[in-house]
Structure 1
Amino acid sequence: MQNSKLRSLTIDSDRQWLVAPNDVKLLPDDIHVWRIELERSESQIKQFAKILSEDERGRAEKLYFQQHRQRFVVGRGILRTILGRYLDVAPQEVKFDYEAFGKPVLSAEFSDRKIWFNLSHCQSLALCAVSRDRPIGVDLEYARPITDVLVLAQQFFSASESALMRSLPPHQKQQAFFRIWTCKEAYLKATGAGISQLQKIEITLTPGESAKLNVPDWRLLEISAGRNSIAAVAVPGTAANLRYWQY
């Protein structure tokens, strides 16, 4: 694959992000991805703050920059609102537990609903992926310039992934790096594993094709969220009926 052109393929490149109906339904084969705008008015921020738990408000207050505090409040408030629709409860009634690496999951009292979710944010944009009966992971990254991209690839990627990075012309290295990174992160977030496992997960990039996750019985979906971002969703199984919602 010497110097082959690796263009970013996105499974929803021709799709429109739609406003979800109030009675949105999630079937076993459905994957719902919500695109969330984190920049909101002061009145909206105050309304979202009211539905957060005391713990969440405390976490927001610990953030140094006001912009980061506000984005956290909006992200958690909208996450609660989205999950409340699927659970048929008020947003403030949604409760979370936390896994070993800090990944939030629905508390045990909602276990019979079999709803899985994952949230990723980058600057003023966030993605929330929701599934039923199976875990899900999503990662969203801003494709910013990185001067030591090959050093990072050597540190976090497999030998074949690093070799691919070295073979690419300079103008393609950045995008390839972020595609591989987001795909790995999406899988690790779905499984609840930490970043130390990045090198053990291998992604295949082939010219003209979407990225492939070299893990049996898992599906990888690259997502176009706009704003020079790169994103991916990982779920076990093969069938997936995708819906893209704009909150």
Structure 2
Amino acid sequence: MRKKVEVFWVHADEELQSAVLSEHIDILDSEERKTYERYLVDCKKVEFLIGRLLVKGLVGQKLGLSPKQIRFFANEYGKLFIDYRAMTETIKRPVFFNLSHSQQMWVCALSEIEQTGIDVEAAHQDCVLEVMPTVFLEKEIAAVEEQAAPEGKRKVFYRLWTRKEAVMKAKGMGFSLPPLSFSVPAFGDLVEDTGFSFYTFSPLKGYLASVAVAREGSAQITYEVSRIEMAELLTGTVSYSG
């Protein structure tokens, strides 16, 4: 049996201003609008609104609903889930999602597996190796340090970092799950480890993203990655074919 995880990413080629996005605010429900208004920095408003446009647009198309019908609730650690209780329609197969953002990149994973997490990082930045003892186990640190070239160290560092965060998000606990309490594979783009399937890819040069999905029995997990243009997202012309 196969289970497909669909990953979508969108990149803002230039910095967006919240005023440019003002016509899209109506996609937010009342609580989301309060959150949006509480942000004092313009870039945080843009980050929040683009994320909601991406998730609600994709989930809405997946379920055959308007994006404005999509509502969320958060668990005790802040992870968002689709609130099917708020829907009058009968949903035969629930969809789970996870969202991540870094600089001008947004990534979203859609899955029928509840424990699905994704993280993206701007990996062109120099990695701060000094933080490794607080987040990486000894064997993970060794995997980074054994790389001779700086580029190799950076790649392994961010592969480990994004996979750690993806697992913490998949389990719905964030950093409440200590990163030193579990290990992730340091090598390979598509790897199955104890309990999780991992897929790491670069949506654009300078970014690295990882998906972590809980393994369910003997089911084989496959990944499909698609780009969404910012213009498509803002005009509502994204054609979801999954």
TM-score (norm 2): 0.79
User: Structure 1 residue 123 and structure 2 residue 103: aligned?
Assistant: yes
Aligned equivalent of 1:34, options 2, 8, 12: 8
Q: Where does residue 102 of structure 1 map in the other structure?
A: 78
Aligned length: 217
Distance 1:134 1:143, change over 3 A: same
Query: Does 2:169 match 1:193?
Result: no
Q: How does 1:97-246 map to 2 (within 5 A)?
A: 97-109=73-85, 113-146=93-126, 148-149=128-129, 151-169=130-148, 171=150, 172-195=152-175, 196-206=177-187, 209-210=188-189, 212=191, 214-216=193-195, 218-237=196-215, 238-246=219-227
> How many angstroms apart in 2 are the aligned matches of 1:100 and 1:222?
28
1:90 to 50, 62, 66: 66
Amino acid at match of 1:220: F
Q: Is the 8 A contact 2:122 2:206 kept in 1?
A: yes
Contact 1:49 1:74 in 2 (8 A): no
Residues 242 and 167 of structure 1: is their aligned pair in 2 closer, same or farther, counting only changes over 3 Å? closer
Q: Distance in 2 between matches of 1:164 and 1:37?
A: 30
Gaps of 5+ in 1: 1-26
RMSD over aligned CA atoms reads: 2.5
Q: What is the SS of the residue equivalent to 2:120?
A: strand
Could you tell me which amino acid in structure 1 is paired with residue 183 of structure 2? E
- The 1:165–1:211 alpha-carbon spacing in structure 2 relative to 1, beyond 3 Å, is farther
Pair 165,133 (structure 1): closer, same or farther in 2 beyond 3 Å: closer
Asked if the contact 2:79–2:173 (Cα under 8 Å) also holds between the matched residues in 1, the reply is no
What's the secondary structure of 2:194's corresponding residue? coil
2:155 is aligned with what amino acid? Q
- Tell me, in whole angstroms, the C-alpha distance in 1 between the residues paired with 2:73 and 2:191: 31
Q: Give yes or no for contact 2:2–2:222 (8 Å, CA) kept in 1.
A: no
TM-aligned CA distance change 1:179 to 1:211, over 3 Å: farther
Alpha-carbon distance between aligned partners in 2 of 1:161 and 1:80, rounded to the nearest angstrom: 36
Counterpart of 1:231 in structure 2: which amino acid? A
TM-score by length of 1: 0.78
